[in-house]
Amino acid sequence: MSIRERLSGNEAAAIAMKQINPDVVAAFPITPSTEIPQYFSTFVSNGSVDTEFVAVESEHSAMSACIGAEAAGARAMTATSANGLSLMWEMIYIASSLRLPIVMSLVNRAVSGPLNIHNDHSDAMGVRDSGWIMLFSESNQEAYDNLLMAHRIAENPNVRLPLMVCQDGFITSHSIENIQLEEDELVKKFVGTYKPEHYLLNDKEPIAVGPLDLQAYLFEHKARTSRSYEKC
């Protein structure tokens, strides 16, 4: 049975992450997404999850940590906004090119300058062609629901791409709405266990991650990513 609650969009995102219980969360604070890792860190400290929370020194490092974790075989998540996503830009493309199903909660905000901390989709549009799946949420309920679906979509063997769940900064992230939450056990069953086919810590299959990709193969790999994107 669904649980009726009143939550902000950021709280809803953090609770979805708690129910998913990822192996690794790496994040750096930036308005208006700061509350998501802040709320989630309390779940780590009180034992509600057994996630390894990595407090990094920048958003570039946050995505780098997620890439390393996911390549090693772990389920990884993060959250950011605006300039934070811009600082991740290099690693955003690396995540999709390596076909790592990282899930990110992106709280949409104007990219500076001039400085503006309010809602704008220029951050998401800046990485529109990077190979990430993008789900846009109209309400707090959709932000929650999309995060619950995210790993099922991203980790599907026919897809295997990173995914960002977008919601509007302040308009939903800080506004409280009625919401229906699913029970923890139902979410756990729905999301399932992450079982990657290839990963760095598999001693029975040594692999290289991130090799040089010259002209003969670059667009072949881009085309494969595009075909997978169509299957999501």
Evaluate if residue 183 carries a pLDDT over 70. yes
The residues, any chain, with a CB within 8 Å of residue 23's CB and separated by 6 or more, are 51, 52, 69, 74, 75, 76, 194
Residue 232 — pLDDT band, cuts 50, 70, 90? confident
Give the mean pLDDT of the chain.
96
Residue 116 — pLDDT band, cuts 50, 70, 90? very high
Residue 113: the pLDDT is 85
First to last CA, the chain: 28
Rounded-to-integer distance, Cα 150 and Cα 134, Å: 10
Exposed/middle/buried for residue 129 (C-beta within 10 Å: 0-12, 13-18, 19+): exposed
Q: How many CB atoms lie within 10 A of CB 88?
A: 26
Specify the CATH number for 3-231; select among 3.30.1490.20, 3.10.350.10, 3.40.50.970, 3.30.2130.10.
3.40.50.970
The residues, any chain, with a CB within 8 Å of residue 217's CB and separated by 6 or more, are none
Tell me which of 5-19, 122-136, 179-193, 213-227 is least confident.
213-227
Evaluate if residue 112 carries a pLDDT over 80. yes
Residue 70: the pLDDT is 98
Residue 231: the pLDDT is 87
For residue 62, what is the enclosing H or E element? helix 59-71
Evaluate if residue 165 carries a pLDDT over 80. yes
Residue 190: the pLDDT is 98
The residues, any chain, with a CB within 8 Å of residue 218's CB and separated by 6 or more, are none
Mean pLDDT of 49-74: 98
Q: Which of 118, 65, 123, 116 is nearest to 95 (CA)?
A: 65
Residue 175 — pLDDT band, cuts 50, 70, 90? very high
Percent of the chain with pLDDT over 70: 100
Residue 114: the pLDDT is 92
Percent of the chain with pLDDT over 90: 90
Evaluate if residue 1 carries a pLDDT over 70. no
